[in-house]
Amino acid sequence: MLRTKPWTPYLYLAPVSLLMLFVFGYPLAAIFDFSMRRIRGASGPFIGLENYRQIFKDDVFQQAILHNAQLLLAVPILVLVGIVLAVLLYERVAGWRVYRTILFAPFIIAIPVIGVVFSNMLSLNGAVNELLRAIGLGFLALDWLGSAQMALWSVMAIIIWHEMGFGVVLFLARLLSLNEEIQEAARIDGAGWWQRLWYVTIPQLKDVTEFYAVVSVITMLAWVFPFVYVMTRGGPGNATQVMELYIFNFAFRNSLPGIASAVAVILFLITLALMIPLFQLRARAEMEGIE
Amino acid sequence: MSEKVLRISRRDFIKLAAASAAAAGVYYWPGSHPFAARAAGEKLRMWWWGEQEAPGLEKWVKDSVAIFEKETGVTIEVTLQDTTTVISEFQTASAAGNAPDIQFLWNGIYHMESVWLGYLEPLNGLISDELLKEADATVLSIYQGKQYRLGWYACSLIWLYNKEMFDKAGLNADQPPTTWEGLLDACDKLKSKGFTPIVGGLKDGPWGEWYMGHALGPNLDTPAEALKLFIGELDWREPRYYEHWTKLEQLWKAGYMNEDMNSIDLYPGMDYFGAGKGAMTAIVVPTLGKQAGMLGAEKVGLMVFPAGGKGKMNNKPIRDLQGLGISSQSQHKEIAAKFLESLHTPERVQAIWTDSKALPTDASWDGNKIEDPLFREAWKNWVANPDSVPYISNLMPVMFWTDAMFVNAQKIVAGEYNGEQAGENAQAVATKWREQNPDLLEKYQIWANDLAL
């Protein structure tokens, strides 16, 4: 048998590890470094935690965090709607493949296109309100994107509409891979539709649900910029200001990449803080399953 | 001149024409001109913007580049930039040491920050003093006596009014209001006839910026006064400096503006005017043709916004213009300068107007020849008028744009702020900007001294 030195495997891994370190590690280290400098152009003087101090006393940043937190309310909605629609499709109602395509379609439409279309539809005199007025529901015709009370909810609804298709396809794929005998057995035992859904189907979707929830949390924290930018620019006032837009404004408009980096670090840490317990829960569940 | 001198035989004429043609050929043949000999084969990059507001400029740019390339043998790679990235793209490229040789520049702070970062080359010395004066880029392009832009075409700010609606409301269509009280009276009469007096769209922000330029400026004596508000020598909470927001609140609460103002962007709001759905709106000169075309030029009147200010800049037309500059990183500054000069030959200047209906800003270009009376009036009063004033909004730091101007205008229209609260927010944002930009503060102070006209 050929004997190798203990460090030989590491040698084989070294090129890829170095590449990974460069691709992922360097930008991360650079952002941490930038966050403690007053960057003008490509670099700037070290100013310690001054950028962080500026951020935390800025009420626009506080509003941005609050709005991102509010958008997290969409996560359970996305999971719930995704599961329900996937289960309905799984029942193989007539034309279910067409419905699946229709439900998935929003997910593949470019976000700027969605933004422009919905901006027009949801303006005070847009198609949605015109329709409401035409059917005698004029009292429901609100300034969906122009009112501070409604704007963030409207943006959230559009994000849900866009992201929902991904969840449906994900859950449906998992359902189609399940052993149908379990469903059949439950049916023979007299379990109704709701009972089968609650006690048989949903427990088997646990892994996918966790994955989708994690992806949705990341979406709501760090992937809503194009929606907000195209539809409201963070307005009216700061009613739809979110952390990504705050980063964009500081990095590309206010010419203060140092502050933008500090917010990026905070966003990274918040996301990490939310992800770690989720992965720990999953690891514990897997261990329990093994035992 | 005697008749004898003028009498040239056909043979002499042919000889003269042939000699002239040969001389011209030698002059223009790539490599034969002393400058061309040095420059031939070099490659330059130009990033520009403008087609978005003045359709037709792209043709003009391409033609201008083709002429220059033919004359000099230089190649110029041209890129039309997106509106949202004009500044950031140039600054990012500059930070990476890869800036284009020639860059489109908006006025005031929109290029002055790049000057302070050392990304732009002063044009003095590269371009003749005569041309710098001839293609004047306004006082907002000058820092410490150096000029950083060469003027290109006008984007002066004008208010339009619908003469037909004025007539129907019993107003004098040839004499638009010149005082705040006159404006309120006009709005009242227009509204009572079922017309929306003022139309615009605030959702994307620029309308709020224009309004601020039109309504704050008249309360100031000099552009430097605006800069002093940002650097903290003056206070936004003084009524004089937030009065324009109080007046916006007054217009909004009286129902003198379109109710969907917060839910539509600048251009759809402006187009309400062209569609005959509003009596007055704010525009920039390059969009005049579109609005006049939509509504019918005979119905369109031009006016200065009657802000009723108490400063020396009250009731003055606002003159602004777009420009081009040279990167400090360019390895071919002399060629870039020659190219900019080539854009200001009489033929190229005339072509700006012919190709795009944008108004050239060169002092020697005679706008009196414009046949369209509306454009002629715009040129006379908003481009060539020595009594015009700079556009104040060009002085605000970008953070003030996003966190104060944008927020204040929308919150006033949403009923969340009154004028005084807007002033308080403006003061808070100006303070925040100073704390976050201590290094720029000194530059602003110097600029304020430059602008204390």
User: Between chains, do A235 and B262 touch, taking CB under 8 Å as contact?
Assistant: yes
* pLDDT of residue B26 exceeding 70: no
User: What is the secondary structure of B361-410 as a DSSP string?
Assistant: --TTS-GGG-SSHHHHHHIIIIIS-TT-B--GGGGS-HHHIIIIIHHHHH
* pLDDT of residue B9 exceeding 60: no
Task: Please give the pLDDT value at position B392.
Answer: 95
Question: What whole-number distance in Å separates Cα of residue B351 and Cα of residue B338?
Answer: 18
- Per the CB < 8 A criterion, the answer to whether B66 and B98 are in contact is no
User: Between chains, do B88 and A252 touch, taking CB under 8 Å as contact?
Assistant: yes
Tell me which residue of A227, A270, A265, A220 sits closest to A247, measured CA to CA: A265
Interface with chain A: mutation pick from B202, B207, B260, B263, highest number of A CBs within 10 Å: B263
The count of residues in chain A is 291
CATH of domain B35-154+320-383: 3.40.190.10
| Number of domains into which chain A is organized | 1
Tokens 């298709």 belong to residue:
A165
User: Between chains, do A236 and B410 touch, taking CB under 8 Å as contact?
Assistant: yes
Residue A100: inside a domain: yes
> Which residues of chain B lie closer than 8 angstroms to A64, CB-CB?
none
Peptide bond before A236: cis, by omega within 30 degrees of 0? Answer: yes
Task: Please give the pLDDT value at position B20.
Answer: 53
> Which residues of chain B lie closer than 8 angstroms to A138, CB-CB?
none
Class of domain B157-318+389-451 as given by CATH? alpha beta
Residue A48: inside a domain: no
The three-state secondary structure class of B205 is coil
Can you give the residue ranges of every domain in chain B? 35-154+320-383, 157-318+389-451
User: What is the secondary structure of B301-349 as a DSSP string?
Assistant: EEE-------STTTT--B--EEEEEEETT-S-HHHHHHHHHHTTSHHHH
Band (B63; pLDDT cuts 50, 70, 90): very high
The three-state secondary structure class of A39 is coil
Chain B residues 72-131 within an 8 A CB cutoff of chain A: 85, 87-88, 91-92, 94-96, 113, 117-119
* pLDDT of residue B175 exceeding 70: yes
- Per the CB < 8 A criterion, the answer to whether B84 and B42 are in contact is no
B35-154+320-383 against B157-318+389-451: fold identical: yes
Lowest average pLDDT, out of A281-290, B110-119, B262-271, B348-357, goes to A281-290
Beta-strand ranges (E) seen in B54-115 are 75-80, 102-105
User: Between chains, do A235 and B406 touch, taking CB under 8 Å as contact?
Assistant: yes
Whether B421 contacts chain A with CB within 8 A: no
How many C-alpha atoms does B320 have within 13 Å on its Cβ side?
A: 23
Residue A30: inside a domain: no
Task: Please give the pLDDT value at position B14.
Answer: 57
Enumerate the β-bridge partners of residue B75.
B43
CB neighbours (10 Å) of residue B204? 18
Domain assignment of residue A259, given as a range: 58-290
Band (B12; pLDDT cuts 50, 70, 90): low
User: Between chains, do B263 and A38 touch, taking CB under 8 Å as contact?
Assistant: no
The three-state secondary structure class of B120 is strand
The Cα of A53 is separated from the nearest Cα of chain B by a number of Å equal to 10
Mean pLDDT of B107-113: 94
Mean pLDDT of B389-413: 96
Amino acid making up residue B177? P
Task: Please give the pLDDT value at position B16.
Answer: 54
Lowest average pLDDT, out of A116-125, B6-15, B117-126, B287-296, goes to B6-15
Mean pLDDT of B71-91: 93
Task: Please give the pLDDT value at position B28.
Answer: 46
Task: Please give the pLDDT value at position B33.
Answer: 60
User: Between chains, do B406 and A148 touch, taking CB under 8 Å as contact?
Assistant: no
Q: Write out the residues of chain A at the interface with chain B, using a CB-CB cutoff of 8 A.
A: 38, 40-42, 54, 58, 60, 119, 122-126, 143-148, 232-238, 249, 251-256, 259
Angle at A139 (CA atoms; ends A135, A142), nearest 5 degrees? 105
Residue A37: inside a domain: no
For the domain that residue A249 is a member of, what is the CATH number?
1.10.3720.10
Residue A281: inside a domain: yes
The Cα of A210 is separated from the nearest Cα of chain B by a number of Å equal to 37
CB neighbour burial string for B104-115, b if at least 16 within 10 angstroms, e if fewer: bbbbbbbbbbbb
